[in-house]
Structure 1
Amino acid sequence: MTFIALDDEPLALVLVERLAREAPEWTLLKTFTDAAAAAGFLRENAVDLLLTDINMPDISGLDFVRQLADERPLIIFLTAYKEHALQGFDLDVVDYLVKPVRRDRFLHALDKAATLIRLQRRAAAGPAADDHFFVFSEYEEIRIVTADIRYVESMGDYVKIHLAGQPRPVVTLERLKNLFDKLEDKGFQRIHRSYLVRLAAIDGKQKNRVRVGNNWLPVGETYAPQLAKRLT
């Protein structure tokens, strides 16, 4: 598993490099003191985890993460300011480390991220059968029948799977793109960067949205042509 670190303080990056040597399953690909350079690296390279400071002169770590593409790596914030913790967790980050970082807390944060990545990779391996697959949710593996899926809603590194006959969606660690790759040939279409829908579950449509039951879902401009083609 791989990660990069972004911090405007070179000494903080030296500490990260030293601690990273104690986590053998992780590879620190590169460190950055400049946010623009880090963003460029993320656009060109697949990275599992980003460790970033929050208070930086050119951009805050919070804004940096918000500007990343949907398929962003997992995030761990590293900062000297505890008051940003709530905002950080609103972005579905893995952990929040306060400087000076203790060795045990750093390694624990990497362990948490590794667990999440292993679950993601397991889910991306594909369904066990054509008509169903399993996801990990609330400390158990839940069987999802493909024909029961009405639509899927992205929540960053998680998705909500809305099922027919169930009032509450199933929430699981997964990327919407990975789920679409598995379900596209089973009658599903991505209609928005945050939504994937089973075509047979669509009850109505308008120019920029579709209705599934009583729920109106947005249709993004990028996805509208392919949706129209598949609905004809």
Structure 2
Amino acid sequence: MKAIIIDDERLARTELKHLLENFPQIEVVAEASNTTEGEQLIEEHQPDVIFLDVQMPGKTGLEWVEEYDGFMPEVIFTTAYNEFALKAFEVNALDYLLKPIELSRLSEAIYKLEKRLGFQKSQHEISELRQKNYLTAQDQIFIKDGEKCWFVRLEKVRLCESMGNYVRLFFDDQKPLVLKSLNALEERLDPKVFFRANRKHIINLNFIDKIEPWFSGGLQVTLIGKGEKIEISRRQSIRFKELLSL
């Protein structure tokens, strides 16, 4: 899939290109520092997706999308400000990424793009992802906590909870601790299955039993199994609703 990056900050373009190297199905064919340059490159390359900064000198990314009447690929907005999220989806953006962009969050956006375009990974590409230590729900992991050991499929892990420098994994009746930060664990988990609910928790989407409105625009989910109740922060609630919407 061909991609163009439109962002007035050279460092931001470089960082995004570096992150996109983790996705061999994406080819960055060009980059632009403003929407005027971007228009010309879009007409020339006919990309599948553009990564478009919201705030740029002159015409903003949102204004440009609303006014542009030429060939329009899928749009993934990138910005440091979350107040533009609602407007972005009003103009039918595929996704909205907050800077600094996290690899796991970018992976979610690429997955949406693949679904939208009907793109299927080849076995070669899947193999390359596995070589980068990307774990799927079907992978089995070895866990050792004290004298106890487990060999469990990730699909059985319903909840990951940060405990300082450790993460507590919840599966069946077990709650072992592993020496790993929640951020490090998140980078290795399949974002189509495991969702970062807040600073302390990652939940398995397949274990959600109930969703309720919560304080300050957030949500609370109840998990199947032991009935753990986990708050989804206001910021993450926007992502959660978009991820699970039709």
User: TM-score if structure 1 supplies the norm length?
Assistant: 0.49
User: TM-score if structure 2 supplies the norm length?
Assistant: 0.47
